[in-house]
Structure 1
Amino acid sequence: MTRFNTFLLVLVLAVCGLLVWQVTRIRRDLQQTVDSQQQLFEDILKSNDLLEPAAGTSSQKSTADENSAELTYVRLKLESAAGKALPGYNIELASVASVSQKVQSSDQTDDRGVAFERRLPYGEYWLRFKEDSGWRCTEKILLEFGKPFEQTIIAPDPQDRGQIEFVSELRSEPLRELHWGEIQERVGGNSYAVPYTPEPEDELEEFASLPVLGDGGVQTVGCSLSMSLKQDLKQPNGETYHWRWSLPGRGVLVTDNGLAYQIEESSSSTVDQDDVARLESLEDDQDLRFIVMELSEGESPLQVPAAAGELTIELSSIVARTDSEWTDLLAEHCDEPGPYWLQGNVQQQSVWLDRFLDLPEWTIGEKFGRVAVRNVTIESGQTVKISLRSPQPQ
């Protein structure tokens, strides 16, 4: 028994010694890795602080590569599809995976359309472009070990500009019986159920106290539009870069008074029956949502400058402006001044839309949450006319 206990003790001590040796070896390897990474980043800082932009000759590029085997030489050139150099683009490279220190480097294209001409650690990077007129793009690239990354990138030419012209031919009469306002029914937590506005032949008791055109409460009606603009450009390496352009403001409001407005700011608020006694048809768990919009001066037509590209216009909702009485009622519960706007929360295939809108060039009811969508190409120097109209009375 004593010999067996001695054997067990020796075995335990041997295993413990082996574990201590393994832990010591792992700690030594980790310290070497940390030291290597630290030296790498010191090399990066030195190279980016001291390396002068290369003059563009192959010998100078190869020299930059040879200075550190851990760094990859990067040179980007931006030009239009027509081969025109594009100065003034801001470019950022940010490492995807975070190591002991995150790598981030930025530059701006010069008169040649060239940026960077510097060395960075190999690995995956987010490549982000930003241009003052509004163009944006984000793509992912790979800097390979020991392989220079020199690429020509096709980008939109900021000088290619067009214009969007909005014209209103809307009539409010087809919406005379519609109850305006979006009801939000609380179903627990921050969740809401939003019932649709009843169709012309239907009645829903909860909508009975909401305003109707001609009976006071609302007056001007309109269509709220959102817009996006893009260029998807094929690159010399076969990839496609997806460029997006930021249109001014939050969208456009086209109304039945013949005017269109740019939506500069937009937000929403809610009231319930306790706030506004006129909302007697609402249940205790229901709120009325209303919209606050800061609008530009109305114009006919409204002309909005835009870049050349593929324009998508989404008719997101139909709305009606509160009259002075309802504006005063809602203003007591809102920090922003009126007038306010109430939405007609109609279904995508609603009879109301058939009565109110005649949009043969639009796609209706195919995108969830949108009344209609239209895609159009804006060429450089071109004005695209967008007309919203109602059917003519029989």
Structure 2
Amino acid sequence: MDILHSLGHPEELYNLFRFKMGGCREVMPKLDLNSMSESLQACYRYMNETSRSIAAVIQTLDGELRNAACISYLVMRSLDTVEDDMTISLETKILILQNLHTYLYDPEWKFTESKDEHHQVLENFPMISLEFRNLAAVYQEIIVDMCNKMGVGSADILEKEINSLNDWDKYCHCVGGMLGVALSRIFSASELEDPIVGQDTQLANSITLFLQKTNNIRDYLKDQLNGQGFWPREVWIKYGKKLSDLAKPENIEPAVQCLNELITNALQHVPDVLTYLSRLKNQSVFNFCAIPQVMAIATLAACFNNQQVFKGVVKIRKGQAVTLMMNTTNIEAVKATMFQYVEEIRQKIPLGDPLLEETQRIVLSIQNLCVPRSSSGLSNRLSIIHLVYGVILAVLGYQYLSHVWV
């Protein structure tokens, strides 16, 4: 099925083939679970159960960074699970959110009353807190600080609506931006990256806001079905009386215009993404940071001006995802990818879109930052890809005809 979806995209077929033949290990080294303690194995299992995409990129990190990032994610996921669980009383939510950072030093604390789909991180929190305490002191300090600030921030916005674009930024910072800042500090603390990576919190926050906004935009319908909404009122009120109105078939035109405006807002973070990634020196850290960013720009390109956001799920093809993972190994490759997908967005801007000029301006500013140095290497690679593509089609055709005539 993955091959069928990518039939019109030779590079995707080529990379799917490479991926299946072991190329995945170039960007996703296999974990040596046998060398881990039972509790650490459990932490990696919880991470895979709650987010396979996050687990995939965390697995790319070197040495002690991998464990520190894994625990950071699980702590954030624990906070997020409490916040999202509509069956937990407001009083209990606030208590846990404000105090979870202290529970990291309590070997016994756990919460068994969650009905959220990710309840296992709360029920088995002693496993997570144990591995937290096994981390180097410098990583513990960073994670506790993140957990404290994220918990207090999340408790503060629990009953507040996302009214303005500033509120949207604040919400995304509380639920994701602080993790980006913490991980950046961890990268610098490991000495694999320069101090500026951890010190420039504005950039670290911005790259995470780009990811969080992409998720909020893509998940409109899913969130509505769960009784939630994370689009800022300042934007959607221009297109409907209620946020839920955008899902009604008769409102599809203004709904798509609202969608396009939010994507235009998210694109404003791309220059910060490029600056942040250009500072990274360690290959594993670069892969960890770059892969989600290129996945996000591909997702926004798929969502832009797409009615399907209000009708179902919009996902990029597996062939696309594999290609992005395999090719995102340096800043020039990231720039080429960003250029490609913002150009796709530019070509999809409707002539009557209220933000036509603004979207075009942002796209052009991004493309000016991403002008490729040379296309010769790309041309050679594409020649090889087309050759492999022809071979694959020939093999598939032969197998199909053999099956038909047997």
Q: Which is greater in Rg?
A: 1
Instruction: Name whichever structure is richer in strand by fraction.
Output: 1
TM-score exceeds 0.5: no
Decide which structure has greater helix share.
2
TM-score range, shorter chain: under 0.3
| TM-score for the superposition, normalised by structure 1 | 0.20
Given the two structures, how large is their TM-score scaled by the length of structure 2?
0.20
